[in-house]
Amino acid sequence: MFADRSTKAGWIRGMLAGAAVLLGSTAAQAQTPVRFTLDWRWEGPAAPFAVALDKGYFKAEGLDVTIDPASGSREPISRVASGTYDMGFGDVNSLVRFRDENPGTDIKAVMMMYDRPPFAIIGRKSRGISKEVSSLQGKKFGAPAADGAYAQWPIFKAVNKIDDSSMRFENVGFPVREPMLAQGEVDAVFGFSMSSYINLKSRGVPADDIVVLPMSDYGVDLYGNAVIASEKFAKEKPEAVKGFLRALMKGVQDTVKDPASAVDAVIKRNDVAKKDVELERLKMVLEQNMITPWVKENGFGGIDKDRFAKALDQIGLTFNYKAKPKVEDVFTEEFLPAADQRKVN
């Protein structure tokens, strides 16, 4: 009798173990892979993505997300366009141009991350640069050809009525941009405000000698980086896109509530990063680009369609459209979480 009971108990335990393995296997199979590309290295501004990964928010949505760094805000667009990545984090203005130059490109922005773009001109007081646009006359600029900020110079020049015939623009590589300004080889550079400002400080340039002219303060009414997705991926796996954005939204909210903890998730992915530097960089992005007055009032991730339409007009100053897009051609809200889930303080 005892043997019979023991045999039955063993059989039951075996069945339960087998069921657990089967359920675990099924759950693993249910995880939808998502290949995602950042716009840059693992630095402070990437904290919401790292937080969503580390806290299991993507996994809870049934997603197996891999996130890779990149070399600039334009690169994610070509990566997603090639099919190498499903989604990415890139400059929406570059996306507009890429779509126009490559008809049939099936990429759209699905969540606006930077309500205000980080595009800026960064100079030094000791080199004669001030907050006045007139101080730019006759100066020498470090201007990487592939830089998203330099791409907006035609807009900045037009809205501020600048004659740039006396200015010199030197095509420099990203790695030497801030070093050249720190060494006085140029008077100012084009770049992302949080990157160039922090990089200059780290090279010993006194904070009170650094002058930042955010282009959005000078009539450049563009948006910045957005989450982008290939239309093919979005059509085939719309729930994956929705789940990704829900998870990322939680990462954004956690980052806003506790930037100091959030930045730790970045530091562990970047051996050379320093917490104080990346925390300052993250706080700059949150304050200047992400959590703007409009976002506080209307929620994170969406757009003002009238403003976006004006942005499309301004983008037309940087190149000649083959076919000017409509707002809905570039940005869609259909995958965003509900409005009450996108509130930030």
Rounded Cα distance, 345 and 296, in Å: 6
Are 103 and 341 spatial neighbours (Cβ–Cβ below 8 Å)? no
> Could you give the CA distance from residue 176 to residue 279 in angstroms, rounded to a whole number?
23
Residue type, 273: A
- The upper half-sphere exposure of residue 277, i.e. CA atoms within 13 Å in the direction of its Cβ, equals 16
- Distance set, CA 267 to CA 104, 272, 279 (Å): 39, 8, 10
Judge whether 187 and 159 are in contact, CB under 8 Å. no
User: Beta-carbon neighbour count of residue 328 at 10 Å?
Assistant: 12
pLDDT of residue 13: 56
d(CA 323, CA 339): 32
Block means of pLDDT (10 residues each) for the chain, 345 residues, are: 47 50 48 97 97 98 98 92 97 96 93 98 98 98 92 97 97 95 98 94 96 98 97 97 98 98 97 95 97 97 98 97 97 97 92
Q: Give the side-chain half-sphere CA count within 13 A for 226.
A: 27
Residue 19: the pLDDT is 46
DSSP per residue, 177-211? HHHHHHTTSSSEEEEEHHHHHHHHHHTT--GGGEE
Q: Which of 104, 117, 218 is nearest to 161 (CA)?
A: 218
Q: What is the CA radius of gyration of the chain?
A: 23
Which of helix, strand or coil describes residue 226? strand
Give me the DSSP letters along 81-110. HHTS-SEEEEEHHHHHHHHHHSTT--EEEE
Cα separation, 6 vs 61, whole angstroms: 41
Neighbouring C-alpha atoms within 13 Å toward the C-beta of 54: 19
Say how far apart CA 175 and CA 152 lie, in whole Å: 20
pLDDT the model gives residue 27: 44
For the chain, the residue count is 345
| Predicted structure pTM score | 0.89
